[in-house]
Structure formats: structure tokens, C-alpha cells
Structure 1
Amino acid sequence: MVNSQLILDFLEQLRIPVKRHGKKPDDIAHNCQDCEIEVFNILFVTTQDKRSEVRCFSCARRNDPSLQSFSVLSEYYMSELATIYDNFQTNTHPIVAYTVGK
């Protein structure tokens, strides 16, 4: 969540617009075209031969330090991520001791 906010702040300083893309529960995860890591929330997208290519922030900066050649998409609003984070609770189950057979 912090990483997403830092990237959004950086993009705001560069005056690069971030478009809301949204994410449905059955959408596939996006992987970086270059380094193949999973890209969460902030997608840097280019189109090559009528095909969209997603890159992570690091690889996008490596390809174009100004980031001007990318469309930037956001899958979640920061308020959505904050709500999920704030409401997160772990479920703990008591440890049941089992007796070892005789």
C-alpha cells in the first residue's frame, strides 16, 4: 500500500495522469513484461502490435525515465486499500493437543 502511494505521489509530481482501471474478482494478475514479477495496483501500459504490455514501475522507468510513453492505470483507489488494511483481522485457532497412541 505504501509503495502504491509513493508511486502515485511521484506521478503527480510529474503531472502524469492515472486512469482508473478497476479490478474484478475474476481478473487475472498482471505480470511485468520485462522482469515477470506480479504488478499490483499501478500498471504501466504500452501497446505493441495492438497488444497491451504491462510493466512494473522499475522496468517502466528503465524503458522511459520520463514515463511519458506509458498509460498509467490504477486497479484500486487508495481509500479501498486503506479500508481493507484497517479492517484486517487475523483468525487464530487454539492449538489442540493430541495424545499420542499407546
Structure 2
Amino acid sequence: VIHLTWNIARNIRVNDRKLFDLIKFILYQSLKYIQSLLSYLEETFDDNIPIRKQLRTTNEPVHYCITCECEVFNILFVTELDRKHVVRCLDCALLHNKQLENIVVLYQFILDDLKAIYEQFQLCFMPISNHRKQIEP
């Protein structure tokens, strides 16, 4: 749902107030989560955990945690399992390895770009037509 919400904010004009408020709330919460997650990593692991940039590619599928199956947006904790790279959320990555050893941390979106999308997402007002249909008797 988070990826879908960001795509809607990026690509579609929304003119329904309730939908707009819901989308704006989800965008805000995901930004807040990303910032707190990055702060946690910095405070807890200092520079021992490098966060690498791997921008999202066109048509790349949404990532889900291999353990709890929650959607993982932007900050991916990647490990190798049976010679395949798998994604975990922070909670499951910490359960897997408290020191996050042998875990690669990737980010897929630049935080300033996400903030710009959030700021640019505005409620779109539809013009009101002055023409009324004539009712025929």
C-alpha cells in the first residue's frame, strides 16, 4: 500500500478530500518512519552499517519481508538465503542478527525527493460548470 500511495501522489491528481487526507497521512507517516529508522541506525550502529544507494528500477516489484511479509519501503535490509538475496524489515533483520552483520542496508529513494513529492501533492479542485441541464417537461 505504501508504494501505491507514493505512486498516486507522484502521478495522479486527487480531488476527493477524504482520499487526499488519507494519502497525505500515509505519506507523512512513511516519511516519519524513514527518518526515525535512519536516526536509529546512526545512533545505534554509528558508521558500522553503511547505507548504500540502489535506486528503484522501472517495474521493480514491491518488496516484502521474507519473515513477516510486511511491505518494506525505501530502506531494505538484504541478506543471502540459499544463494538468493532476500529482503527483511528492520525488526526481522534485528531478530536474525542483532548486530546486523552480513546484512546490506539499501535505500531506494532519496529522502529529499520523497519530501518534494509530499510537498507537491496538493488537493486538486475541479472547475464547477456554470451550465445546467435544462429539464424538459
Q: TM-score, normalised by structure 1?
A: 0.84
Matched residue SS, 2:69 = coil
RMSD of aligned Cα (Å): 2.2
Q: 1:46 & 1:28 partners in 2: Cα distance?
A: 18
Matched residue SS, 1:33 = coil
Give the corresponding residue for 1:24: 57
Matched residue SS, 1:45 = strand
Q: 1:90 & 1:25 partners in 2: Cα distance?
A: 27
Matches within 5 A, 1:1-102: 1-13=31-43, 14=45, 15=47, 16-93=49-126
AA in 2 matched with 1:60: A
Q: 1:42 & 1:6 partners in 2: Cα distance?
A: 11
Between the aligned residues of both structures, percent identity stands at 37
Runs of 4+ displaced beyond 2 Å: 90-95
Distance 1:94 1:62, change over 3 A: farther
Tell me how many residue pairs correspond in the alignment.
99
Give the corresponding residue for 2:8: none
Q: TM-score, normalised by structure 2?
A: 0.64
Q: 1:65 & 1:37 partners in 2: Cα distance?
A: 19
> Unmatched 5+ residue regions in structure 1?
96-102
> Unmatched 5+ residue regions in structure 2?
1-30, 129-137
